[in-house]
Chain A
Amino acid sequence: MAVIDETLSYPRVTTVGDFFALLKPRVMSLVVFTGLAGIIVAPGHVHLLTAFTALLCIALAAGASGALNMAYDSDIDIVMARTATRPIPMGHVARGDAMTFGWAIAAMSVATMWLFVNTLAAGLLAFTVFFYVVVYTLGLKRRTPQNIVIGGLAGALPPAIGWAAVTGSLSLAPIVLVAIIFMWTPPHFWALSLWRCEDYARAGVPMLPVVKGKTSTRRHIFAYTVLLAPLGVVPAFIGLGGMLYLILSASMGFWMLLEAFATLRERDEVREPAAKRLFGVSLLYVFVPFTALIVERLLHLPALWT
């Protein structure tokens, strides 16, 4: 497992940190957070250790998906500034080792979920890994500018997995949570792609601004945000969220709409300040309302509509 690094006087050994970086810890933290929200807001009760196991499996499957994504995309990661410092392009981890690592963790997390939580949660977890690695990474990413629209389903599923881990079933509520993250994904990543456009073009990844241009991307961002803002408040009207959730999700939706409108009107195509602001606000958009849902459930605050 030693990889020769010509800049060093000793053979570069793949470190624990390299393997940890393969798990895309920042992406994993978002997935864990939304999965935790699904577990907490789901009706019913499971043993604390079962909830922990479910969350661990969600985290590991997300990490495995990240490792496999890095392995299969290592040829394009090396030509993009944003991804050139990842462990495989840097020569710190061999591509084959990353694949073995990723598939082993994915299999272990799904098997553990199936053995100790339930079949539905395990099935959804397996589907998420399959969708992210096979459908998105190997299928859509290099073929269509709709890559992140369809592929976003993989990142949107953790609340439903968390919900299924507790209840053993699905209902309208977790599907709405999935729909919110699904609708949030395109404006989030298209905002990033606006100022990383040249990077994607150099790597031959057909992101929307590369294929359709920045003006079209700005319109798409705004259109998706217009759909996202009202969708974001729906949990308050289906017995899931309370007053705190309604206020915070409506406020965040309005803020994101303002930033999407600013991005639509942005003329600085070099620095893209509005898109950078939108990207930051979109991160808060997931964090704040989902935190409100968790807080309401933990404090036993009543849902607005039951």
Chain B
Amino acid sequence: MDDNSFDKNSKAGRERRKRNIALALALGGVVILFYLMSIVQWHENTSQ
């Protein structure tokens, strides 16, 4: 079954959209965490 065959307004389509949003948020969170942790490490290295 191809995911793209789902009607966007069907329950399956809505669930798939929710899944994509959750994945995007999780990846965005990882990017932000990596960015902030890089700043923390840079700050710790320069203050030593």
Contact = CB atoms under 8 A, between A and B. Distances in A.
Interface of A: 1-2, 4, 10-16, 19, 47, 49-50, 53, 56, 108, 112, 115-116
Interface of B is mostly: helix
Given A12-B12, A50-B40, 7 more contacts: A2-B1, A15-B15, A16-B18, A19-B19, A47-B44, A50-B37, A116-B37
Size band of the interface chain B makes with A = 20 to 34
Interface in B1-48: 1-3, 6, 10-12, 15-16, 18-19, 22, 30, 33-34, 36-37, 40-41, 44
Contacts of A13: 3, 6, 12, 15-16, 19
Interface of B: 1-3, 6, 10-12, 15-16, 18-19, 22, 30, 33-34, 36-37, 40-41, 44
Nearest to A10: B12
Nearest to A20: B22
Given A16-B22, A53-B33, A116-B37, A11 B1 contact: yes
Contacts of B18: 15-16
A47 B19 contact: no
A12 B11 CA distance: 9
A94 to B, nearest CB: 11
B1 A4 contact: yes
Contacts of A12: 12
Query: Which of A2, A13, A115 has the most B CB atoms < 10 Å from its CB?
Result: A13
Nearest to A15: B15
A193 to B, nearest CB: 35
Contacts of A53: 33, 37
A2 B41 contact: no
Contacts of A4: 1
A116 B41 contact: yes
A6 to B, nearest CB: 13
A47 B15 contact: no
B28 to A, nearest CB: 14
